[in-house]
Amino acid sequence: MSDNERTVQYTCLKCGYKNSWTRDEILQRGKEVIYRGEHEVIYSLRCKNPAGCPQRMRIALKRVEK
Domain ranges of the chain: 3-62
Whether the model clears a pTM of 0.75, i.e. scores above it, the answer is: no
Task: Note whether 63 and 41 are within 8 A (CB).
Answer: yes
What are the distances in angstroms from CA 6 to CA 15, 25, 54, 57?
A: 24, 10, 24, 17
How do residues 11-34 score in pLDDT, each as one tens digit? 999 999 999 999 989 888 766 777
31-51 pLDDT tens trace: 677 778 888 889 999 999 999
